[in-house]
Structure 1
Amino acid sequence: MKNKKSFSSKLFSSWKRLGPGLVTGASDDDPSGIATYSQAGAAFGLSTLWTAIIAFPLMASIQQMCARIGLVTSHGLTGTLKQHYPRPILYLTLLFSFPAIVMNIGADIAGMGAVGNLLFPSIDANYFSVVFTIILLILIVYLPYQKIASVLKYLCIVMLVYFIVPFLYKQDFGEIIKATFIPTIKFDKDFIAILVGILGTTISPYLFFWQVSVEVEEMRHKRRHLIVDKKLIHDMDQDVDFGMTVSGFVMYFIILTTGTVLFKGGIHQIDTVEQAALALKPLAGNLSYLLFAIGVIGTGLIAIPVLSGAISYIITETFGWKEGLDKKFHEAKAFYIIIAISLVLGLSLNYVGITPIQSLIYTAILYGLTAPVLIAIILHISNNKKIMGENVNGRITNILGFTALIIMTVTAVALIYMQFSNQ
């Protein structure tokens, strides 16, 4: 009995100690990610399962670089660029980041509104979107983000139902193993687009800015002096790896679930959240809509503060204004006003005539097109000895980082080529 209590208390203690890596991983599987993975499974069955195996080491290496930049420089990514690089590089970063992040906020708000309407069909989705935006703004302004995240991360546990559904069906495990470890590539626009979307929503640019800034804020919150040693780097790497592992498993099993339930059930195009929710019906029956809604709302409530926070970190560091989610409103007014503006801009995108599912997938594709530029910048910073000192990238990190750059560049160029060649 004592051993059981000791184990459970240790497990709970370990859960509470998890740092920014878990929040980053949870926000990576935001409504945009859920929609993209669901569409991948519905449209192509198990053909994109291999992307989870490829994406994990790539996204983990990039996030580790970002975290290390924050620990070493005590500045966010934008602040580091401002201090060490020509202004055109800084403005290029802003140009490639701002539109994609705002669209991601709008897409996630629209997705949350759509699942609200799914649960209460008599209430228009736009009303839910407005209500969620107001709730998020109040939570962000009045509560420290650490408290919000520590509560909301429990909502993400509902995503574990995706781990169960595939095994309720008679599966061809040989087919699953083959699809997992042997890449399938189809040279058509739709497949390349979903490939770019998967890579874009897993290796998301907003997470780059967030990871750098939140590592600085985390250390400031713990009142530690930023003495960067091997233990600190090791702990950070483990935290990032854990978060990215959780994210990767959720991605894998969403594709497996929708590839099993929806693709084999004849649903190859997801146009509504109801269709995406049907993937959970074999396990939950009529509760499938509720579980799906909780997952989308839970991840949205975690991801949108990360998204809007990333935008605010970018702008406030550019102009040298006070920033930080650990600060109260009167201590960093500009920071919170920018967050409010980004939420309103995102909400306004709900009225441009794009369905929530389309918006979520388009956001992932836009990330896939903009990420290569930002990855190149991060690689340059993390190999710059004037900035990083002895903490520059090792050989393996560089190999993974440049592999991510090459893969995302090739897929983005292929998508652009196919888009124009088919017109």
Structure 2
Amino acid sequence: MKQMGPGLITGAADDDPSGIATYSQSGAQFGYGLLWTMALTYPLMSAVQLISAHIGRVTGKGLAANMRRLLPGWAMAALVTLLFVANTINIGADIAAMGDAAQMVVGAGEHWFTIGFALLSLVLQVFVPYHRYARVLKWLTMSLLAYAAVLLVVHVDWAAAGIGLVIPTIAGASAVATIVAVFGTTISPYLFFWQSAQEVEEIEDDPEALPLNDAPEQAPREMARMRVDTLAGMAFSNLIALAIMVATATTLHAKGVTEIATAADAANALRPVAGDFAFALFALGIIGTGMLAVPVLAGSVAFAVGDWLGWKCGLEHRLQEAKGFYSVIAVATLLGIGLDWAPIEPIQALFWSAVINGVAAVPIMAVMMIVASSERTMGDFRVTGLLRALGWLGTAVMALAAVAMAAWP
């Protein structure tokens, strides 16, 4: 447990409201038919996140700072802008869903809850070191284990689930869009920047730690730590995602409910284990994962902008020490609030924010793989072998899904 750090938090944040909505929609609409996406994404997301961690730990600099060395200014500006737009939409969808979930339990005040959660998250990020309240918030994500509990009390067709897990099927254009959404909410661009930046902060917080390029003798211990941390964090993320998909396939799809338009629709999947308490339990999961994920979303884009422009960055710094960094967080969060007044249900907004992430991830992953494979940047620790192959495979799979979605008749 002492080795659990950035990877575990990243894995918990990956099951954010956007993830819950996307996995729920996948199970409700296609039953067990898209479970194979989870078998595919686990090794790919583990590799991509581990590569992100390696870049931060080896160089002592964030992902954007390393990208800046290889890219011309216009290309770097385009990538950072793409991340900012994708993250802002995701933040808006997350906080809107948090307000919707709270309103579902209380009965009123959706917009006020949305504004309140956004401001609370912003205040916490600015005035409280993230590692302090993340330790508390990550326990709220344990409410998502209710989806695993559902599998113990309902009749799951395990034979069909097993087939869906190992045999890929694609049932039309809507299935392709859902696959892109599943990939996008699981292998999300903001998580690359976040985990790399957190490894840099780990170095800054430990007076004995140095970038591995400067202290190669620390590599065996640190590489092992990152591997255990990342594989465990991604396993938690994917197992919860798999449980959500199977639970909604068993409880909603089996009853003919194939569209999830509201938080109440998604909460109904928990009724077999939680009864009327399902709404409160679902709301707790949405709010807990949202409060954990919004700082990651806003923080990752602030790290990207700050590293690109050479600012001091970090959620452990005080406001006066990193004004530019916190300004980006504030702008992204406040712009995100406006999505709550868009003419789209929060659950649908979450789904389409996942689709946007799936498309945005492709160029960012390609550049990240070039950075990780560069001897100039990574020295003797450049990514090679199976890890490099999985990283490029993940990039190719994401690109193929995005192209298929655009070209499917």
> What TM-score bracket applies, with the shorter chain setting the length?
over 0.9
Is 1:96 paired with 2:110? no
Is 1:47 paired with 2:33? yes
Structure 2 SS opposite 1:254: helix
Using the TM superposition, give the Cα deviation of residue 17 of structure 1 relative to its aligned residue in structure 2, in angstroms: 5.0
For 1:113 and 1:85, the matched residues in 2 are separated by 40
- TM alignment of 1:265-304, pairs within 5 A: 265-304=255-294
CA contact (8 A) 1:32 1:363 kept: yes
Partner of 2:177 in structure 1? 193
Using the TM superposition, give the Cα deviation of residue 364 of structure 1 relative to its aligned residue in structure 2, in angstroms: 0.4
What root-mean-square deviation, in Å, do the aligned CA atoms of Structure 1 and Structure 2 show?
1.2
Using the TM superposition, give the Cα deviation of residue 92 of structure 1 relative to its aligned residue in structure 2, in angstroms: 2.6
CA contact (8 A) 1:107 1:359 kept: yes
Greater displacement, 390-399 / 45-54: 390-399
Greater displacement, 92-101 / 285-294: 92-101
Match of 1:86 among 69, 72, 88: 72
Partner of 1:174 in structure 2? 159
- Which one-letter code corresponds to 1:234 in the other structure? A
Q: Deviations over 1:348-405 (max 9, x none)?
A: 1211212101110000000111111111111111110010111111211122112111
Runs of 5+ unmatched residues, structure 1: 1-13
- Which one-letter code corresponds to 1:235 in the other structure? R
Partner of 1:385 in structure 2? 375
Using the TM superposition, give the Cα deviation of residue 190 of structure 1 relative to its aligned residue in structure 2, in angstroms: 0.6
For 1:76 and 1:301, the matched residues in 2 are separated by 23
For 1:325 and 1:266, the matched residues in 2 are separated by 45
Partner of 2:357 in structure 1? 367
- TM alignment of 1:213-252, pairs within 5 A: 213-223=197-207, 224-226=209-211, 227-228=215-216, 229-252=219-242
- Which one-letter code corresponds to 1:407 in the other structure? V
Partner of 2:307 in structure 1? 317
Is 1:153 paired with 2:138? yes
For 1:412 and 1:85, the matched residues in 2 are separated by 23
Match of 1:203 among 157, 170, 187: 187
Partner of 1:264 in structure 2? 254
Q: Name the TM-score, length of structure 1 as normaliser.
A: 0.93
For 2:127 and 2:199, the matched residues in 1 are separated by 21
For 1:352 and 1:325, the matched residues in 2 are separated by 30
Partner of 1:7 in structure 2? none
For 1:170 and 1:116, the matched residues in 2 are separated by 30
- TM alignment of 1:62-141, pairs within 5 A: 62-121=48-107, 123-141=108-126
Q: Deviations over 1:43-102 (max 9, x none)?
A: 000101111111000000000111000011111111112234322331231132111111
- Which one-letter code corresponds to 1:37 in the other structure? Y
Structure 2 SS opposite 1:248: helix
For 1:29 and 1:354, the matched residues in 2 are separated by 22
CA contact (8 A) 2:9 2:233 kept: yes
Shift of the 156–172 alpha-carbon distance from structure 1 to 2, 3 Å rule, reads: same
CA contact (8 A) 1:81 1:89 kept: no
Q: Deviations over 1:13-36 (max 9, x none)?
A: x2x652011110011000000000
Partner of 1:411 in structure 2? 401
CA contact (8 A) 2:60 2:210 kept: no
Q: Deviations over 1:197-245 (max 9, x none)?
A: 0000000000011111111012212232233412211111111111100
For 2:115 and 2:60, the matched residues in 1 are separated by 36
Using the TM superposition, give the Cα deviation of residue 320 of structure 1 relative to its aligned residue in structure 2, in angstroms: 1.5
Greater displacement, 81-90 / 198-207: 81-90
- Which one-letter code corresponds to 1:196 in the other structure? V
- Which one-letter code corresponds to 1:218 in the other structure? E
Structure 2 SS opposite 1:88: helix
CA contact (8 A) 2:67 2:368 kept: no
Structure 2 SS opposite 1:171: coil
Using the TM superposition, give the Cα deviation of residue 332 of structure 1 relative to its aligned residue in structure 2, in angstroms: 0.9
- Which one-letter code corresponds to 2:155 in the other structure? K
CA contact (8 A) 2:35 2:164 kept: yes
For 1:111 and 1:99, the matched residues in 2 are separated by 18
Partner of 2:317 in structure 1? 327
Partner of 1:255 in structure 2? 245
- Which one-letter code corresponds to 1:65 in the other structure? I
CA contact (8 A) 1:32 1:360 kept: yes
- TM alignment of 1:7-46, pairs within 5 A: 14=1, 17-46=3-32
Using the TM superposition, give the Cα deviation of residue 172 of structure 1 relative to its aligned residue in structure 2, in angstroms: 2.4
- Which one-letter code corresponds to 1:31 in the other structure? P
For 1:46 and 1:172, the matched residues in 2 are separated by 9
Is 1:162 paired with 2:147? yes
Q: Name the TM-score, length of structure 2 as normaliser.
A: 0.96
For 2:177 and 2:368, the matched residues in 1 are separated by 25
For 2:391 and 2:328, the matched residues in 1 are separated by 31
Using the TM superposition, give the Cα deviation of residue 130 of structure 1 relative to its aligned residue in structure 2, in angstroms: 0.4
CA contact (8 A) 2:60 2:203 kept: no
For 2:72 and 2:294, the matched residues in 1 are separated by 30
